[in-house]
A and B are shown apart, each in its own frame.
Chain A
Amino acid sequence: MEKSIDEINRKIRDGSAVVVTAEDMPDIVSELGEEGALLEVDVVTTGTFGAMCSSGAFLNFGHADPPIRMERVWLNDVEAYAGIAAVDAYIGATQESTTEGINYGGAHVIEDLVSGKQIELRAISKGTDCYPRRTITTDLLLEDLNQAVMVNPRNAYQCYNAATNRSDRTLNTYMGTLLSNNGNISYSGAGLLSPIANDPHLSLIGSGVPIFLGGGRGVIVGEGTQSSPASGFSTLMVSGDLKSMNPEYLRAASITGYGVSLYVGLGIPLPVVNLDVVRNTSVRDEDLITSIVDYGVPRRDRPVVQTVTYAELKSGSVEINGEMIRTSSMSSYSRAKDVALEVKRLVEEGSYTLALPTLRITTEKRSHPMRETKQTPRVREIMNPAVVTITEDESVKTAARKLLKGETNHLPVIDANKKLVGIITTYDVSKSVLLDGDSLKVSEIMSRKVIVITPDEAVDVAAMRLEQHNISALPVVNSEYHVIGILNAVDLGKLFSKRWQS
């Protein structure tokens, strides 16, 4: 049996459609069976509410008199992209204020506009015969704009990796605060309520489908940027009229140590046209699997610690290596439920009819990493391989001699197996002179906690590590923990100044 979209829309219009949320669907299918659920349910509503950094809005300001061709535009000191003719700009959610930094950004401008607050526009131009004006400053409300069209290039991720941090330092990321040594796990996504999780083959979700966006009416433009349906990470590009939206469902955020983002409420009602839809919308949190990855590794491909279901993540703690680690969510499940319930209410009211995609989104695509023609330099390329080392049992006097002869300030200390066990600096040696340095051994004065780097890490990582630990050199170690070089802050400084000049 199949149901046509026209039949479902007819029921919506006459108020007889049966609408349920994706949270209720699994139990309905268990109770009625798939055929029974297809007969009973007409629409399943989905919802998500989370940080969607890749969001923004096109704004049209109308012409001033005399007119100006705005080349650079600031809204409450947040720059908007104005390289689109004379009186339009795109305000991106993550752009930060030139005066307030991370505390106020494009997302806040959008939230303020939707909340009815006044925004100050500043713009500059070089002036032309047709657009003679060079500067303008004016206060604007959302209602003063001709158009305010939200266009979000990448929203509604099908699935997102959960994050933990195995390094020994607390990290501030777009996944929130990640405590050191696997101190916590942060995840995002609404699990079984998530729109694409309920239509993983994108048979109902595609171009032209009406959606609930930020409290107003929106539409799916098509495939989102970075979308990778073949690997289970589809995204959507969506659009909607900012003037129809509601600040309850559009909330600016400042994520400490990272930047600005916009929390967007997004919901998609799915017409139950056949058994495939019944099966897909009966998905449970137990069926939705994601990976916990280690954000302590500052690389594109971070190691997977283990896989996990959304049911486990939502339970509040996940077991890693026998230890229960507490979880935090960056997205709001209670608000995602509000979105799904609000969409249900709108469809039941009869004012919200559904449509099938006018254009299907391909499911074969897999997004690939950036092609880099100039590889960022690695530690191996700028380290000094002629590193002078010392063994634990040698005297401090020998260390002093080596430091002087090697014209270095750092001596990595190795054991009998040539493994790195410590480091001493000219400072350590000077200090030991005051304590009867002649009779002391290296092992008695060395620092045992050595901050190191590996040869294949990017120099940018080395620079961050030096800064974080406030040190001036890093021993370079291989997989056996043998010292194969040393990286000095001075060499790094030279490299960076050259890179920016060229």
Chain B
Amino acid sequence: MKLFLTIQREALKRPLIAQVVLETGVLINVERAHIDSNEGWVLIDIPEKDMEQISNRLTELGVEVKKLENAILHDEHECVECGACLSICPQEVFSFDSDFHLVIREERCILCGRCVPACPHQALSIRQ
């Protein structure tokens, strides 16, 4: 599962994720990260069973932890199920079922936003 971490300036100087990996032995996959002078955010993927442990430890270290859910806003009225989004998404979030209806696996989304301009019907947006 994916956690969205917001890290304040002070905490940014410390190797927080490496520390948590060493302490817990849980393998954390960093999928995206953005760090500037004031703040940073990191999107990590971890096994579901370790969620509480990782979340608690990061919180103790001063990180704001949010579970990533319903990241993609899909406007079913605008969508015509063309499939323009299918090959654009690096995470293969979008696919067709056997009847060519769109299936969205939101849990795979890493918020890259590439699908948003690729949709001809403006049916996709990313929750901020």
Contacts and interface: CB of A to CB of B under 8 A. Distances in A.
Interface of A: 49-51, 176-177, 179, 183-186, 251, 253-257, 261, 263, 316, 325-335, 337
A185 B87 contact: yes
Given A253-B121, A254-B120, A256-B117, A332 B83 contact: yes
A328 B80 contact: no
Contacts of A325: 87
Interface range on chain B (Cβ under 8 Å from partner): 20 to 34
A419 B47 CA distance: 53
A331 B117 contact: no
Contacts of A335: 80-81
A177 B86 contact: no
Contact of A327 (B80, B81, B86, B99): B86
Contact of B118 (A251, A256, A263, A316): A256
Given A177-B114, A263-B82, A334-B99, 6 more contacts: A184-B87, A186-B87, A326-B87, A332-B83, A334-B101, A337-B100
Interface in B83-124: 83-88, 92, 95-96, 99-101, 114, 117-118, 120-122
Contact of B86 (A328, A331, A337): A328
Contacts of B85: 328
24 contacts: A49-B80, A177-B84, A177-B117, A179-B87, A179-B88, A183-B87, A184-B88, A186-B84, A251-B80, A263-B80, A316-B96, A325-B87, A326-B86, A326-B87, A328-B84, A329-B84, A329-B86, A330-B84, A332-B83, A334-B81, A335-B80, A335-B81, A337-B99, A337-B100
Q: Is the interface of A mostly helix, strand, loop or mixed?
A: strand
Given A176-B118, A251-B80, A328 B99 contact: no
A342 to B, nearest CB: 15
A220 B59 CA distance: 66
A332 B78 CA distance: 13
Nearest to B120: A253
A329 B118 contact: no
Nearest to A249: B80
Contacts of B117: 177, 256-257
A23 B54 CA distance: 51
A326 B92 CA distance: 10
Contacts of B122: 254
Interface string B47-84: 00000000000000000000000000000000011111
A334 B97 CA distance: 10
A176 B84 CA distance: 7
Nearest to A317: B87
